[in-house]
Amino acid sequence: MNLQEIKALIDAMAASDLSEMALTRDGTQLRLVRRKTASGAPAQQQAPDPQAATPVSTPAPVRARRQSPQPAAAATPAPSAITTPLYGVVHWRPSPDAPPFVAPGQAIQAGQVVCVVEAMKVFNEIRTDVDATVLALLVESGAEVEAGQPLLSLG
């Protein structure tokens, strides 16, 4: 196996969705693995040093492994609750004398602000992603909430 053949295999792997490739020829084994980075994206493949390839006494079978494609997601149902993405204090009103953002029984539209969560003196607007009806407020105004905690239920 020469350097040009190895480069051709690396290029072929880079152009495909293979995550691993192994080849054994004339007692020399070459294994290419696409590693994932911290962000989950495939890392750039490094060309192996052909001088570092050592003969293997028992040849391994040639194999290629494909990453299984994710099945297409079916239409996702509307969430039954809106959760907070961060820790903080919930406020159902923009100010103490203003009307609340939402109330039980109220119809809300996608993109509408339903409350604010105060974290480190920053007021973060919590918006809905769907059209729905507010069934109930699950926490009191001024209550501390944890990330992922449901704030209100939808119907």
Architecture label for domain 81-154: Beta Barrel (2.40)
- Please tell me the distance from the alpha carbon of residue 8 to that of residue 76, in angstroms, as a whole number: 43
Q: Is the pLDDT of residue 153 over 80?
A: yes
- Contact yes or no for 79/37 (Cβ under 8 A): no
Provide the token pair at 115: 């409350």
Q: Predicted confidence band at 9 (pLDDT cuts at 50, 70, 90)?
A: confident
Provide the token pair at 126: 């919590």
Tens digit of pLDDT for each residue in 23-43? 777 777 777 777 765 545 544
At residue 38, the pLDDT reads 52
At residue 27, the pLDDT reads 77
At residue 152, the pLDDT reads 92
Tens digit of pLDDT for each residue in 43-85? 444 444 544 444 444 444 444 444 444 444 444 444 589 999 9
Mean pLDDT of 128-150: 93
- Global pTM? 0.49
At residue 139, the pLDDT reads 94
Amino acid in the structure at residue 14: A
Q: How far is CA 55 from CA 64, 80, 85, in A?
A: 20, 60, 54
- Please tell me the distance from the alpha carbon of residue 68 to that of residue 70, in angstroms, as a whole number: 6
Domain boundaries, the chain: 3-66, 81-154
Maximum Cα interatomic distance, the chain, rounded to a whole number of Å: 82
| Cα 110–chain centre separation | 22
- Contact yes or no for 106/133 (Cβ under 8 A): yes
At residue 57, the pLDDT reads 45
Tens digit of pLDDT for each residue in 87-114? 999 999 999 999 999 999 999 999 999 9
- Please tell me the distance from the alpha carbon of residue 49 to that of residue 56, in angstroms, as a whole number: 16
- Contact yes or no for 108/131 (Cβ under 8 A): yes
Residue 121 backbone zone (phi > 0: left; psi -120 to 50: alpha; other: beta): left
Give the chain's end-to-end CA distance (angstroms, integer): 65
